[in-house]
């Protein structure tokens, strides 16, 4: 809710936190974010999050029950875009396979030279 509600940077677009990985000593957190938009919008959103990391960390601190609030490192997670592209490619291949199957099906209603009329 901090990113969506309290962060008022217009460069931050539609951002979703997809994963957070903490270092063993809990001092650093790598925050993976998915961002909807063009490549430039994605870069701007990640840059804005990196710029606001201190503010987000300050807002996050009181709700954590650990001794130190980790330093936040934001990273763009493109797994959603990759999964969507894979889904698109698979759908295209399924459609091509269906078209090939339909083209190979024998037509049983045709009258051929061996038929008795």
56: which residues sit within 8 A by CB, 6+ positions away? Answer: 2, 3, 7, 49, 72
Residue 3 has pLDDT above 70, yes or no: no
Q: Evaluate the CA torsion angle 92, 98, 102, 104 in order and state its sign.
A: positive
The CATH number fitting domain 2-78, selected from 3.30.300.20, 3.40.50.300, 3.30.365.10, 3.30.70.1060: 3.30.300.20
Q: Which tens digits make up the pLDDT trace of 58-100?
A: 888 888 888 889 999 999 998 888 898 999 999 999 999 999 8
In DSSP notation, 6-64 reads: I---TT--EEEEEEEEE-TTSSEEEEEEEEES-HHHHHHHHHHHHHTHHHHHHHHGGG-
Domain coordinates in residue numbering, the chain: 2-78
Residue 29 has pLDDT above 90, yes or no: yes
For the entire predicted model, the pTM comes to: 0.68
């Amino acid at each position: 809710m901090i990113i969506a509600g309290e962060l008022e940077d217009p460069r931050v677009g539609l951002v979703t936190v997809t994963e957070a990985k903490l270092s063993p000593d809990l001092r650093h957190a790598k925050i993976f974010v998915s961002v909807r938009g063009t490549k430039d919008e994605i870069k701007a959103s990640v840059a804005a999050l990196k710029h606001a990391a201190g503010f987000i960390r300050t807002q996050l601190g009181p709700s954590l029950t650990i001794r130190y609030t980790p330093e936040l490192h934001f990273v763009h997670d493109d797994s959603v875009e990759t999964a969507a592209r894979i889904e698109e490619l698979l759908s295209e291949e399924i459609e091509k396979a269906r078209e090939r199957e339909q083209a190979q099906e024998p037509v049983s209603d045709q009258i051929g030279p061996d038929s008795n009329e």
